[in-house]
Amino acid sequence: MKHSDAAYLSEPVSSREQRLRGDEADRGQLVIEVVPAHQLTDEHRRRWRTIQQNESTLDSAFFHPEFTHVVDSVRGNVEVAILMQAGVAIGFLPFQRGPYGVAQPVVGRLSEFHGVIASPELNWQPEEFIKQSEISAWYFDHLPLTQTRLSQFQWGSSTSPFIDISQGYEHYCTVVKKSSSSAISQIRRKARKLEREQGPLRFEYHDPTDEALSQLVKWKTAQHSRTGRFEFFRHDWVPELLRAVSQVSCRGFSGPVSTLYAGKELIAVHFGLRNDRTMHWWFPAYNVKYQAYSPGLIHMLKLLEQSSELGVDKLDLGKGPERYKAQYKTGELPLAVGGIDRRPWVRRIRKVWHATKRGIRASRFNSKFEKCMELSNLLRERSRFR
């Protein structure tokens, strides 16, 4: 446990509770209790945080109990399945119950990490888990590969790139330069040019003003419209959620709204999620008028520099094909894709369809079918996004 968490936890976890791990968990029967997120007790939240802090693969704000709490305060339909043993909570799965009893990750398609908050050594049965939770199915596509209890339900894998700044921002820049990449030096030149031609650059680490958030929504919606992506910001609850998260003041969790100005003009905004020593690059947007200067990348480097000074060790970029992620990453976190479904025929259909799409993308017919698959993904997002 990190030293900064001592004040957050109201009391230490007893040695008896700490022993409820691995094979020793088999000595008592696991019971699943499902409660609305707003009914979680302080003890539940303390246990949740302790588990998260002790497992490095859960080091993301998406796994923080406060994230689940804020989403529920906006949506009002978040539930948590709690793994109980001998009256002690030893695992948690937050979800939103969709049509036909299918469980979706908290914030659905916007979730960039999800899974069961529990020790990797804990012996639990996924099928029994969803049965007792009265869930018909639970699908995942951003599950840390270390959640081995779900390995048999995995269809494929992917990766989520990240940037390691644990040894400081300048050390990171040196690492990128040694890899024969001129990416950072090019962005620094563009930043100097932008400053000469448009005015002094000013970076704000947290600027939760209506102007910043409104501009982010406007730019992001326009981007999705240009690229044919699903325009989820048109759903009122998404901007409302960002505003709620930006106002959170909680130990180990925050939603920084960082801004970049050139002179007096706002040219880039990013909404991130921070958990302890990890920042997540969630919603970046910029003014396309200044596209030639790469304002989004200038903003990202400014955020890396400031975050490093504030004690952040890593910037999670989230999975995706964007070129800049490959250029600036220092490592990748492996993720699993798959699902548990109590309806065998549905499970088989979805598994076959996933394999078919992977096969097409790896074949010479990729270009012919890519538009069809993009349309399929768009229709799926519209049907599942609530």
Let me know if residue 324 belongs to a domain.
no
Report the mean per-residue pLDDT for the chain. Answer: 87
Q: Determine the pLDDT at residue 239.
A: 95
Q: Do 283 and 219 lie in a common domain?
A: yes
Q: Do 289 and 200 lie in a common domain?
A: yes
Q: Which residue type does 62 have?
A: F
Q: Quick check: 231 and 224 in contact, CB under 8 A? A: yes
Whether the predicted pLDDT of 279 surpasses 50: yes
Let me know if residue 333 belongs to a domain.
no
Q: Quick check: 47 and 89 in contact, CB under 8 A? A: yes
Average pLDDT estimate for 109-135: 92
Given 113, 133, 158, the domain boundary residue is: 158
Over residues 335-358, the pLDDT tens digits come to 999 999 998 888 788 787 767 766
Let me know if residue 325 belongs to a domain.
no
Q: Determine the pLDDT at residue 222.
A: 94
Which CATH number is 116's domain given?
3.40.630
Q: Determine the pLDDT at residue 3.
A: 38
Q: Do 139 and 171 lie in a common domain?
A: no
Let me know if residue 222 belongs to a domain.
yes
Let me know if residue 335 belongs to a domain.
no
Whether the predicted pLDDT of 143 surpasses 70: yes
Q: Do 154 and 10 lie in a common domain?
A: yes
Q: Do 75 and 107 lie in a common domain?
A: yes
Tell me the three state secondary structure of residue 137: strand
Q: Do 292 and 386 lie in a common domain?
A: no
Q: Do 154 and 201 lie in a common domain?
A: no
User: pTM for the whole thing?
Assistant: 0.85
Boundaries of domain holding 151: 3-158
**Tally of residues, the chain:** 386
Given 140, 158, 176, the domain boundary residue is: 158
Over residues 208-223, the pLDDT tens digits come to 999 999 999 999 999 9
Q: Do 130 and 61 lie in a common domain?
A: yes
Tell me the three state secondary structure of residue 76: coil
CA distances (Å), origin 312, targets 168, 229, 260 = 9, 31, 19
Q: Determine the pLDDT at residue 1.
A: 40
Given 158, 186, 205, the domain boundary residue is: 158
Q: Quick check: 232 and 109 in contact, CB under 8 A? A: yes
H or E element in which residue 81 lies: strand 78-85
Looking at the structure of the chain, the number of domains it has is 3
Let me know if residue 322 belongs to a domain.
no
Q: Do 150 and 219 lie in a common domain?
A: no
Instruction: Provide CB contacts within 8 A for 330, sequence distance 6+.
Output: 162, 163, 164, 172, 175, 176
Q: Determine the pLDDT at residue 361.
A: 66
Let me know if residue 186 belongs to a domain.
yes
Q: Determine the pLDDT at residue 12.
A: 40
Residue with the larger pLDDT of the pair 35 and 122: 35
Over residues 300-330, the pLDDT tens digits come to 999 999 999 999 999 999 998 899 999 999 9
Q: Do 131 and 235 lie in a common domain?
A: no
Q: Do 170 and 298 lie in a common domain?
A: yes
Let me know if residue 290 belongs to a domain.
yes
Residue ranges of the alpha helices (H) in the chain?
Answer: 15-18, 42-54, 65-75, 126-132, 169-178, 183-198, 210-227, 237-246, 295-309, 323-328, 344-361, 366-384
Q: Do 174 and 151 lie in a common domain?
A: no
Over residues 243-256, the pLDDT tens digits come to 999 999 788 999 99
State the CB neighbour count (10 A cutoff) for residue 19: 11
What is the secondary structure of 249-300 as a DSSP string? -BTTEE--EEEEEETTEEEEEEEEEEETTEEEEEEEEE-GGGGGG-HHHHHH
Q: Quick check: 122 and 130 in contact, CB under 8 A? A: no
Task: Name the pLDDT band for 5 (thresholds 50, 70, 90).
Answer: very low
Instruction: Provide CB contacts within 8 A for 241, sequence distance 6+.
Output: 70, 71, 74, 75, 107
Over residues 370-386, the pLDDT tens digits come to 556 555 555 555 555 56
Q: Quick check: 80 and 34 in contact, CB under 8 A? A: yes
User: Angle at the Cα of 139 (from 85 to 319), degrees rounded to 5?
Assistant: 110
